[in-house]
Amino acid sequence: MTRINLYQSFVLHQYQFDVWEFEPHNHNFFEIIFIEEGTGYHTINNVRFKYKPKDIFLIAPEDVHNFEIEDRTTFTYFKFTETLFTQNKQLPDRAYWLHRIEHILHNPNLMPGDVINDENDRKLIWQIHEVVLSEYVSDEPYSKNIISNTISTILSLIARNIERSYRKNRTKYTKKSSRIDDVLSYIRTNVYEHELMKTNEIANSFGMSANSINALFKRETGDSIRQYIENYRMQLVQYRLRNTDQTIAEIAYELGFTDESHLTKVFKKHYQITPKVFKKANNAPA
């Protein structure tokens, strides 16, 4: 499996192919892929589906993907790492941006494919895409700030479309399944707010007692609420260790651990390895 690394915070590439020239690969950065023209198939993590002009794809680090081209296709790629946002002091701080992208990546209803379901949002994103193209080519003063702001806006629109699809798909569930799905969504959305992660607070949000919500959660997921929250936090810790330059102490603070030692103890219990060793093994700065 080919892994491609990006050593800049943002790169824009445009390709036109009759035949796809790259083997399936993953990478250490995000990609927003715009289909300017052409048709074919896009496979992401072994899921294959047809693409067409004006489709938009979000590819996360570790996603494996490739294209099969039917009609000559022109692609525009926005490739970026989280440092694109954290270098811009005019944007919300790093933690806010990480919360946004993590919510997108860990939403279980995000399936491979065109990520936009609202045509007005699609038109808006394509307009923003033109701004990014212009600023990238011109490289004028403040171009980097403008690009980071516009990419942040695109990600917010993508997140809105994912949430819209999530709410629409909830109608397929039974009442019981819908209730547990609401609880899971609450946890994923508020995992950074430590007070809101207390069992009593979660129960109050759904008009239930702590015992009732614990029983429901255990019955529907097989885990206690506390165990689920810990497991989910471990997913976020792994993501940050792989894809950001945050220190272990910073990660521990943001995700509600007492200190770096506490995080190390929990991480080692889950993965039999310390965060420091994991970070080094994944080619990230310690």
Phi, psi of 252 (to 5 degrees): -60, -45
Task: With respect to residue 76, please indicate whether it lies within any of the assigned structural domains.
Answer: yes
Q: How confident is the model at residue 175 (pLDDT cuts 50, 70, 90)?
A: very low
Query: Token digits for 137?
Result: 């080519």
Establish if 286 belongs to a structural domain: no
pLDDT over 80 (residue 269): yes
Report if residue 158 sits inside a domain: yes
pLDDT in tens, 194-209: 889 999 999 999 999 9
The mean pLDDT of 173-191, rounded to a whole number, is 72
Q: Which of 89, 85, 60 is nearest to 148 (CA)?
A: 85
216 shares a domain with 161 = no
Query: What pLDDT is attached to residue 260?
Result: 95
pLDDT reading at 74 higher than 60:
yes
Q: Confidence class of residue 277 from pLDDT cuts 50, 70 and 90?
A: very high
Residues 155 and 132 in one domain: yes
Give the count of domains, the chain: 2
Of 78-82, 94-98, 118-122, where does mean pLDDT reach its minimum?
A: 94-98
In a domain, 136, yes or no: yes
How many CA atoms does the CB half-sphere of 250 hold within 13 Å? 10
Is 235 a domain residue? yes
Confidence (pTM):
0.67
Query: Which residues share a beta bridge with 40?
Result: 51, 69
Q: Are residues 213 and 109 in the same domain?
A: no
Which are the contacts of 251, defined by CB distance < 8 A and separation ≥ 6?
Answer: 237, 240, 241, 263, 275
Q: Tell whether 149 and 277 lie within a shared domain.
A: no
What are the tens digits of pLDDT across the range 145-168? 899 889 988 988 888 887 776 666
In this structure, of 10-14, 96-100, 213-217, 275-279, the range with the lowest mean pLDDT score is 96-100
Per-residue pLDDT at 172 exceeds 90 = no
190 and 92 fall within a common domain = no
Domain that holds residue 85: 2-168
88 lies in the same domain as 218: no
Q: Which of 151, 168, 185 is the last residue of a domain?
A: 168
- Confidence at residue 86, expressed as pLDDT on a 0 to 100 scale: 62
Query: What kind and span of H or E run contains 84?
Result: helix 83-86
Shared-domain flag, residues 194 and 157: no
Q: Tell me: do 155 and 179 sit in the same domain.
A: no
d(CA 264, CA 69): 46
* Per-residue model confidence (pLDDT) at position 106: 59
User: What's the CATH number where 242 sits?
Assistant: 1.10.10.60
**Which range is least confidently modeled, 11-15, 93-97, 100-104?**
93-97
The domain that contains 110 carries what CATH number?
2.60.120.280
**pLDDT for the residue numbered 6:** 60
The pLDDT value given to residue 30: 85
Domain boundary residue, one of 168, 183, 213? 168
